[in-house]
Chain A
Amino acid sequence: MATERATKIRTKTQSGVTDVLVLVSHPMETGQRTDPKTKEKIPPHFIQKMTFTLNGKEIASTSLGTAVSKDPLIGIKVKGTKAGDKIKVSWSDNMGESGSEEAVIG
């Protein structure tokens, strides 16, 4: 059963550049770790794709891998945004889970 994973987004505009920060609660398992109790390998579980859209138009996408930390914080900088613009982030992982969150640029 897929548990609900929190996705948080925050924006900050300073001198024409908007910082968009995204924090996802995700285990980002590499598949290398062993469960100390059962001695079995913990299966890999990581975010593979993350895309950012501005008013519905894709502006950035990234492929993440197992090298990214648990509960990752990912940020992009966007130029030329206006107040009221909608920025949306969505991600999907190798186990078919996904999440998204929206923010309005203030």
Chain B
Amino acid sequence: MMKRMFIMLTALLIMAGLPSVSVADPASDLKQFRDFFKKKFPTVKFDDYANGLYVLPGSEEYHEQWVAFNEFPPYELGLAEGKKMWGKPFKNGKTFASCFKNDGKNIAQGYPYWDEVTQKVRTAEMDLLKCMKDNGAEVTEKGELKEFSDLGKNQNARVNLAELTAYFYSLSQGQRVNINLSSPGAVKAYEEGKKFWWARRGQLNFSCANCHMDLAGKNMGGNQPLSAALGHPVGWPAQRLEWGRLETIHFRYMTCNSQVRAKPLKHGSEIYNNLQFYETYMSSGLPLSAPAMRN
């Protein structure tokens, strides 16, 4: 009898809880998200989450290795390439700096952002490519840049873009993530990204949250601990030891998707943009540390 009452009571409680979940606004999502990690890892300071899995309890050995790598991080080679690209004038004499506010310095904390004109989320990669297009780079029939088409498969082009983006982010290093969600369109894109984050997918039937929230800091059939979602985007473009090159965050999403045996989406697809938008908002207030070394 008691047991039945208990079940009924919990059912009632769950039902009562539902409406408040469905009207959750981004700000309360953010609070919930942060509280989740605060409770999970009470010893980790908020700012430290910008440094990826290395700050989680139990990752001390990885932290040591990471510190050693940061003595002379191998991404400096790629970053130097990105810097070269950034400074090289286009045919019309302008440079990348001309496409951005404040010459591209200290603005990356607002990326990705909601663009009212196109009614889409725009990433740093998109703006960098648009800058090349606007300044006379060759375009294919589809309107894509000739040099940077099919980024999912074209590794050289993608790495070049990652290096350039890494340099763009490095100009804003230390700035705290600040995403503007003031327009209804932005909130809608945010909701789309949120849906993707929490939806299960692939043969293994995992959502992003299963690994990077519930199992954060634990090994999951892999040879290294899973990172915590909080602080995910602030280190990207990053160089993973496994890859030995700078890569874009979308490529990471693609590989994550195939790791749960789901078909990866296209590099630069809208849903990845929205996911990045959601993830970055969830890391609001963390200092940008890109480019970074990651496992």
Contact = CB atoms under 8 A, between A and B. Distances in A.
6 residue pairs, one from A and one from B, having the closest CB atoms: A25-B77, A21-B72, A10-B72, A71-B74, A23-B72, A6-B77
Contacts of A73: 72, 74
Which size class do A's interface residues fall under? 10 to 19
Interface of A: 6, 8, 10, 12, 21, 23, 25, 69-71, 73
Nearest to B71: A21
A60 B71 CA distance: 21
Interface in B221-273: 244
Nearest to A10: B72
B76 interface: yes
Contacts of A6: 77, 80
Nearest to A12: B71
Interface of B: 71-72, 74, 76-77, 80, 244
- By secondary structure, the A interface counts as strand
B244 A70 contact: yes
A23 B74 contact: yes
Contacts of B71: 10, 12, 21
A70 to B, nearest CB: 6
B244 A8 contact: no
B88 to A, nearest CB: 14
Interface centre among A8, A21, A69, A71 (most CB of B within 10 A): A71
B27 to A, nearest CB: 43
Contacts of A10: 71-72
Contacts of A23: 72, 74, 76-77
Given A8-B76, A8-B77, A23-B74, 15 more contacts: A6-B80, A8-B72, A8-B80, A10-B71, A10-B72, A12-B71, A21-B71, A21-B72, A25-B77, A69-B244, A70-B244, A71-B74, A71-B77, A71-B244, A73-B74
A104 B154 CA distance: 40
A8 B76 CA distance: 9
Contacts of B76: 8, 23
23 contacts: A6-B77, A6-B80, A8-B72, A8-B76, A8-B77, A8-B80, A10-B71, A10-B72, A12-B71, A21-B71, A21-B72, A23-B72, A23-B74, A23-B76, A23-B77, A25-B77, A69-B244, A70-B244, A71-B74, A71-B77, A71-B244, A73-B72, A73-B74
Most chain-A CB neighbours within 10 Å: which of B76, B77, B80, B244? Answer: B77
A56 B5 CA distance: 87
A19 to B, nearest CB: 8
Contacts of A70: 244
Nearest to A75: B72
